[in-house]
């Protein structure tokens, strides 16, 4: 078994060194970009959809600290947050010629994640969701690139042109991810999780358990995209982590088809695999724990102290399961889904 573990871990090291092409300038830095936007939230919701965009522009502070602008097209996207949040999730398009020479060059389309509502600690929930993307990058090579943004939004619905400042983040477009890895996104086929690359899907499943996420489905592409690397290899690309135990926003809810009562109750939803493979990925995560916990420092100063303590404790509880043979057997090995379920 030790020989098997070594082989898996060596393979993992090689895989993690074979990331796709370099990140674009937009996603190569962890510093937030300061931007200014102006639009009517009501009009954005009523007049845009999956195919209809609204012409707008975006001001951003460039690397010289000077304000610049770029023409953009905006539309709403998503389902739950679009219906239940004040600020809708957005998709932004930038024409190639408009993006040239700016930090957005090479990114013609991207998602914008905004706070859900106008509540006191809205930024804290956004930062916790952004943290999930950073944690996924720590344990998987197949991830979306993200970039924090500090937004000054002038909502034209407000009297007197009042502005609001908030945190948000950008998410790389599906096609840009595919280009980075020399693959393509599969949209027209249902790919069962059992057909995906073993190590990639198990890392994904452990990660989802770590952040307390049950709001996903590989087969039905719910908060999941499938990336095909070659004729025989497909891997999951996970996104949309707001409905997780780690974020735990006020609107969080659990599907009535899932056997837990609240999002902070963990549940392993991966399929049963070779126990040796599960053990190998278990050891990967245990080794990665110090780096994972360091990412929590990102939240310092952006969330309340009690929330920071909660995030640390929530992650520590996951690693307690991994480090305890009895708990690991009960909550992972015995809890995994059979191939027919």
Better-predicted residue by pLDDT, 323 or 12? 323
pLDDT classification of 270: cutoffs 50, 70, 90: very high
Q: Contact at 8 Å (CB) between 90 and 73?
A: no
**Which of 309, 308, 310, 285 minimizes the C-alpha distance to 298?**
308
Tokens (6 digits) for 105: 């060059």
The pLDDT assigned to 5 comes to 46
- As a whole number, mean pLDDT of residues 177-183 equals 94
Q: Residue 155: how many CB atoms within 10 A of its CB?
A: 19
Does the structure show a pLDDT above 80 at 323?
A: yes
pLDDT classification of 21: cutoffs 50, 70, 90: low
Residues 227-251: pLDDT tens digits? 999 988 999 999 999 999 999 999 9
The pLDDT assigned to 112 comes to 98
CA pseudo-torsion sign 211, 256, 237, 57: negative
Q: How far apart are CA 131 and CA 144, in angstroms?
A: 13
Burial 167-195 (b: 16+ CB within 10 A, else e): bbbbbbbbebbbebbebeeeeeeebebee
Phi-psi region of 223 (alpha: psi -120 to 50; beta: other; left: phi over 0): left
The pTM of the full predicted model, rounded to 2 decimals, is: 0.92
**Which of 241, 282, 248 minimizes the C-alpha distance to 263?**
248
CA angle 267, 273, 274 (to 5 degrees): 135
DSSP calls for 274-294: -HHHHHHHHHHHHHHHHHHHH
The pLDDT assigned to 221 comes to 87
Mean pLDDT (the chain) is 91
Q: Which residues contact 334 (CB under 8 A, 6 or more apart)?
A: none
- As a whole number, mean pLDDT of residues 139-167 equals 92
- As a whole number, mean pLDDT of residues 27-39 equals 94
Q: How far apart are CA 235 and CA 335, in angstroms?
A: 22
Q: Contact at 8 Å (CB) between 149 and 169?
A: yes
Tokens (6 digits) for 340: 């027919």
Q: Residue 95: how many CB atoms within 10 A of its CB?
A: 12
The pLDDT assigned to 340 comes to 54
The pLDDT assigned to 3 comes to 44
Q: Residue 306: how many CB atoms within 10 A of its CB?
A: 7
- As a whole number, mean pLDDT of residues 277-285 equals 97
Residue whose tokens read 């086929």: 189
Considering only 107-111, 160-164, 205-209, 313-317, which range has the smallest mean pLDDT?
160-164
Considering only 12-16, 163-167, 224-228, 291-295, which range has the smallest mean pLDDT?
12-16
Residue whose tokens read 């190569």: 28
Q: How far apart are CA 341 and CA 334, in angstroms?
A: 14
Considering only 1-5, 171-175, 301-305, which range has the smallest mean pLDDT?
1-5
């Amino acid at each position: 078994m030790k020989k098997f573990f070594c082989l898996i871990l060596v393979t993992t090291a090689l895989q993690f060194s074979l990331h796709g092409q370099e990140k674009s300038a937009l996603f190569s830095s962890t510093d937030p970009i300061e931007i200014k936007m102006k639009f009517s939230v009501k009009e954005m919701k009523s007049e845009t959809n999956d195919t209809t965009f609204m012409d707008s522009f975006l001001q951003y502070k460039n690397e010289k600290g000077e304000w610049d602008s770029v023409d953009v097209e905006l539309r709403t996207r998503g389902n739950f947050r679009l219906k239940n949040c004040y600020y809708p999730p957005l998709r932004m398009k930038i024409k190639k010629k408009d993006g040239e020479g700016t930090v957005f060059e090479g990114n013609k389309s991207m998602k914008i994640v905004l706070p859900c509502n106008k509540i006191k600690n809205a930024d804290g929930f956004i930062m916790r969701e952004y943290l999930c993307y950073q944690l996924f990058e720590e344990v998987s090579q197949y991830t979306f690139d993200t970039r924090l943004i500090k937004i000054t939004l002038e909502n034209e619905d407000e009297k007197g042109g009042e502005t609001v400042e908030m945190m948000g983040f950008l998410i790389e477009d599906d096609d840009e991810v595919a280009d980075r890895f020399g693959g393509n996104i599969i949209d027209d086929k249902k790919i069962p999780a059992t057909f995906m690359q073993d190590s990639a899907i198990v890392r994904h499943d452990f990660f989802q358990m770590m952040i307390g996420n049950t709001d996903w489905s590989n087969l039905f592409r719910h908060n999941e995209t499938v990336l095909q690397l070659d004729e025989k290899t497909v891997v999951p690309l996970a996104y949309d982590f707001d409905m997780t135990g780690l974020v735990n926003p006020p609107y969080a809810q659990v599907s009535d088809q899932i056997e837990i009562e609240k999002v902070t109750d963990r549940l392993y939803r991966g399929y049963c695999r070779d126990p040796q493979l599960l053990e190998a990925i278990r050891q990967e995560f245990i080794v990665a724990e110090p780096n994972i916990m360091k990412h929590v420092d990102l939240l310092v100063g952006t969330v309340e102290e009690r929330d920071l303590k909660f995030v640390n404790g929530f992650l520590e509880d996951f690693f307690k399961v991994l480090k305890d043979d009895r708990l690991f057997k009960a909550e992972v090995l015995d809890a995994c889904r059979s191939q027919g379920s």
